[in-house]
Amino acid sequence: MKKFVPSVLFAFTLVFVQPVLQHLTLAQAQEGKIVPYVPTPQEIVEDMLRLANVRKGDVLYDLGSGDGRIAITAAKNYGIRAVGIDIDPDRIAEARQNAKKAGVAALVEFRLEDLFLSDFREATVVTLYLLPELNLKLRPRLFAELKPGTRIVSHQFDMGDWRPEKKLESNGRVVYFWTIPSPRRK
């Protein structure tokens, strides 16, 4: 029986623990933070895009894009160019396949990048579904790099003391909306 226990523990580690550790290693690239992949429900995706008033000519950046559903929906429903950024190569591969299936691969690009190092200055709309502390950490970059008037929409999590201009509650979920303000003149 004593020899059986280590074998069972070893098998358990190989089957259950190792895949989790591999996934966490990818996620921990975000400054040691564990960023879980939780997809945004499709009805919330559509609410986010409506709240952002997405329109022809916009360029949408989805930071933490997961399977690509926000960028793909924006391209498909509004005909705009969209860029998804994620640190998980499996999610990027899945998003690229989803864009092909949806017929919008020419409008959507998915980048395997750290969103804290990515260039998203061309965005006119930014979508987020990140952890609260990541929203707060990202906020200074949004102010510094995005043009005044750029619209930001976050699923479920706010930006601390930056009060949203709009807030939508739907099926127990919350969507927040902000606009990058013009710099104050002295």
Tell me, what's the pLDDT at 17?
36
What mean pLDDT comes out for the span 75-93? 97
Global pTM reads 0.80
CA-angle at 44, arms to 94 and 67, nearest 5°: 5
Q: Is residue 158 within 8 Å of residue 132, measured between CB atoms?
A: yes
What mean pLDDT comes out for the span 107-129? 96
- Say if residue 2's pLDDT is above 80: no
- Say if residue 11's pLDDT is above 80: no
Q: How confident is the model at residue 184 (pLDDT cuts 50, 70, 90)?
A: low
pLDDT tens-place string over residues 57-74 = 999 999 999 999 999 999
Spatial distance between the Cα atoms of 113 and 131, rounded to a whole number of angstroms: 17
Spatial distance between the Cα atoms of 181 and 179, rounded to a whole number of angstroms: 6
